[in-house]
A and B are shown apart, each in its own frame.
Chain A
Amino acid sequence: MAYQLYRNTTLGNSLQESLDELIQTQQITPQLALQVLLQFDKAINTALANRVRNRVNFRGSLNTYRFCDNVWTFVLNDVEFREVTELVKVDKVKIVACDGKSRNYK
């Protein structure tokens, strides 16, 4: 099983909402929806690993940090995200990071 980390993204949330609507209208079963989400996990993990090739730098001030169950959670303030093409500034950002070193899928 790949990380279910990416379900809470725009792409993942829109998929979950769509599945919920189909469940409510009883067009699919919850079991089937779960299968779809598992398939989504695989697809997004693969896509990010293979189809994305860009780098980003960022700098800011660290507000909080947490390391629990091998998951890092940071909250940064006044952050600048810099890419070759553009610069994005935010006052507050939350970073959730799962262990990427070991390729052991949860």
Chain B
Amino acid sequence: MASSANSNPVPKLYKSVIEDVINEVRELFLDEGVDEQVLLELKTLWENKLLQSKAVEGFHTEEQAALQAAQQQQQQQQQQQQQQVQQVQQVQQVTQQAQTQQVILPPQQQQAPQQQVIVQDSKILQHMSATGMSAAATAATLALPTGVTPYQQLITSQGQILQVVRAPNGAQYIIQQPQQQILLQQQMQPGGVQAPVIQQVLAPLQGGLPQQTGVIIQPQQIVLASGNKVQGNTQVMQAAAMAAQAGQAATAQVQQVQQAQGAAAPQAQPQQQAQPQGQPQTQAQQPPMMLQVDGTGDTSSEEDEDEEEEYDEDDDEEKDKDGGEDGQVEEEPLNSGDDVSDEEDQELFDTENVVVCQYDKIHRSKNKWKFHLKDGIMNLNGRDYVFSKAIGDAEW
């Protein structure tokens, strides 16, 4: 045994244990009706994991070790590729999911799984569709109907791109491309069926607002414009001071999906909406995310900034509070950073050194402890060791 005393007993021990276990459970597998192939697969998995753990030296032949290394490299490359593909797929999936929740387009037009921006025209209903989810993408692909020219492009503080377009009838519309998909629909055709609005329904504008109405699309709201051919009203989401021009714009914040009814009865639509019409447009009622731009554009933007700043400040205050509490707790251990070096050494080895064994006798005298242990498996510095007996001393 002297010659073999230098060799590591661990690989042989592990192999013998594996063999014993596999042979013993073969009967169990057959009793359960499980194929022998599964048993072999179990053994292979087991051995491979032991190899990968690198806790045992010389566990398997070098050839198999080389194969393992090659397989790992291939897997890493595949994983990188898969991650890239998955990212793209996720973007597409989110797009599709959001689209399914959107308002169904009027039957006259096909349902396009795309974002749509509707610009009201006094006579013509047009659906614009823009693909992509990002603000930049949607803005880039935004197709404006004839007669509507992009008037001005604004970028909100939230990074969303607004396009102010001016329709032939003099109405100004602001098309916001939120990060979430928003479907806007307007129907101006008589007897046309308005598509259901998903999240929020716009308040119809009373008569007198047809020409100067601001369409502001909130990121989480859907602008539904149900055009009334007769009155030329459209239901629009009002967020901003655009409504202030008319003074009669009402905010529509219906949080439930409601199906728009025929365009012939725009007045019936107010019933669908949660908020009564005629409420003055105030930016304070709007969620801070709303960006409102009116004709002048200056005051509202300032107000928006103020509101947003307030909103941000509130958040910051809350964060500071939480951070303060946590910071106080974390500061104390951080101050004693001298001891961190020991932990770093342990982290390098990436293992907690564990000994699993049985005790024969544990003795203590004052603060002097003596350990008599047996039949143990140790994992020290990432490697495995075994012992039949272990004797130790420690001071507490």
Contacts and interface: CB of A to CB of B under 8 A. Distances in A.
Interface residues of B, number: 65
B38 A22 contact: yes
B391 A17 contact: no
A24 to B, nearest CB: 12
Given A22-B38, A43-B17, A96-B356, A36 B25 contact: yes
A98 B16 CA distance: 24
Interface secondary structure of A, over-half rule: mixed
Given A39-B21, A56-B389, A97-B359, A9 B369 contact: no
B298 interface: no
A54 to B, nearest CB: 6
Contacts of B41: 22, 27
Contacts of A74: 371, 394
A36 B342 CA distance: 39
A52 B373 CA distance: 14
Contact of A90 (B14, B38, B353, B358): B353
B390 A56 contact: yes
Interface string B1-33: 000011001000110111011001100110010
B34 A97 contact: no
Interface stretch (B114-122, B195-203, B320-328, B378-386): B378-386
Given A14-B50, A92-B346, A98-B359, A54 B388 contact: yes
24 contacts: A6-B356, A9-B379, A10-B379, A13-B49, A17-B45, A22-B42, A29-B32, A36-B42, A48-B388, A53-B388, A55-B391, A59-B392, A59-B394, A65-B369, A88-B385, A94-B352, A94-B354, A95-B354, A97-B358, A97-B373, A97-B376, A98-B357, A99-B359, A100-B375
Interface of A: 3, 5-6, 8-11, 13-15, 17-19, 21-22, 27-29, 31-32, 35-36, 39-40, 42-49, 51-63, 65, 67, 72, 74, 76, 79, 81, 83-85, 88, 90-101
